[in-house]
A and B are shown apart, each in its own frame.
Chain A
Amino acid sequence: MVPIRLWRLPKQDFSELMGYFRAVYRADERSPRSLHLTAEAIAMNPGNYTVWHFRRLILEALNVDLHDELNFLDNIAESNTKNYQIWHHRRWVAQKLGTDAANKELEFTRKIISLDSKNYHAWSHRQWVLQALGGWEDELDYCHELLKEDVFNNSAWNQRYFVITRSPLLGGLKSMRESEVNYTVEAILAHPENESSWRYLRGLYAGDTQSWIIAPQVSSVCLKVLGSRINFVFALSTLLDLLSHGFPSTQAFRDAVDALRVPDDNQTDSNLAKTACLILERVDPIRVNYWLWQKSKLPQ
Chain B
Amino acid sequence: MGELATEKHVQYILSVEKKKDDFQSVVMEHLRMNGAYWGLTALDILGKLDTVDADEVVSWVMSCQHESGGFSGNVGHDPHILYTLSAVQVLALFDKLDVLDVDKVTNYVVGLQNEDGSFSGDIWGEVDSRFSYIAILCLSLLHQLDKINVEKAVNFVVSCKNMDGGFGCTPGGESHSGQIFCCVGALALTGSLHHVDKDLLGWWLCERQVKSGGLNGRPEKLPDVCYSWWVLSSLIMIDRVHWISKEKLIKFILDCQDTENGGISDRPDDAVDVYHTYFGIAGLSLLEYPSLKPIDPAYALPVDVVNRIRLGKRHAI
Contact = CB atoms under 8 A, between A and B. Distances in A.
A203 B76 contact: no
B218 A118 contact: yes
Interface residues of B, number: 51
A290 B176 contact: no
Nearest to B72: A50
Interface in B149-208: 162-164, 168-170, 172-176, 202-204, 206-207
B70 to A, nearest CB: 12
B207 A154 contact: no
Given A47-B30, A92-B124, A118-B218, A123 B173 contact: yes
B203 A120 contact: no
A22 interface: yes
B173 A293 contact: no
A108 interface: no
A4 interface: yes
A33 to B, nearest CB: 20
B27 A286 contact: no
A26 B211 CA distance: 52
B174 A123 contact: yes
A166 B76 CA distance: 43
B220 interface: yes
A56 interface: yes
Contacts of A3: 271
Main secondary structure of the interface of B (DSSP, over half): loop
A202 interface: yes
A112 B257 CA distance: 33
Contacts of A6: 23, 27
B252 to A, nearest CB: 12
A287 B206 contact: yes
Main secondary structure of the interface of A (DSSP, over half): helix
Nearest to B121: A88
Nearest to A87: B126
B239 to A, nearest CB: 11
B73 interface: yes
B26 A14 contact: yes
Contacts of B76: 22, 25-26, 50
Interface string B65-84: 00000001100111010000
Contacts of A18: 26
Nearest to B210: A286
A152 interface: yes
A4 B28 contact: yes
B219 interface: yes
B170 to A, nearest CB: 7
A196 interface: yes
Interface stretch (A66-74, A155-163, A174-182, A217-225): A155-163
B48 interface: no
Pick from A3, A56, A290 the residue with the most CB of B within 10 Å.
A290
A183 interface: no
B264 interface: no
B211 A286 contact: yes
A123 B170 CA distance: 11
Contact of A162 (B73, B77, B172, B248): B172
Contacts of B122: 53
A91 B286 CA distance: 37
A247 B80 CA distance: 52
B1 to A, nearest CB: 17
B147 interface: no
Interface string A151-195: 011110011011001100000000000000000000000000001
Interface in B199-240: 202-204, 206-207, 209, 211, 213, 218-221, 226
Contacts of A53: 78, 122, 124
B26 A290 contact: no
Interface in B21-80: 22-23, 26-28, 30-31, 72-73, 76-78, 80
28 contacts: A1-B266, A3-B271, A6-B27, A11-B26, A14-B23, A14-B26, A14-B27, A15-B26, A18-B26, A49-B77, A49-B78, A49-B80, A50-B30, A50-B76, A120-B174, A120-B176, A127-B170, A195-B207, A196-B219, A199-B163, A199-B204, A203-B164, A286-B211, A286-B245, A287-B206, A287-B243, A287-B244, A289-B244
Interface of A: 1, 3-4, 6, 11, 14-15, 18, 22, 25-26, 45, 47-50, 53, 56, 84, 88, 91-92, 118, 120, 123-124, 127-128, 152-155, 158-159, 161-162, 165-166, 195-196, 199, 202-203, 206, 286-287, 289-290, 293
Q: Which 10 A-B pairs have the closest CB atoms?
A: A203-B163, A158-B174, A50-B77, A290-B243, A154-B219, A162-B172, A206-B163, A48-B30, A88-B126, A199-B164
Given A47-B30, A286-B244, A290-B203, 14 more contacts: A1-B273, A4-B27, A11-B23, A11-B26, A47-B27, A48-B30, A84-B126, A120-B173, A124-B168, A152-B220, A195-B207, A287-B244, A289-B242, A290-B202
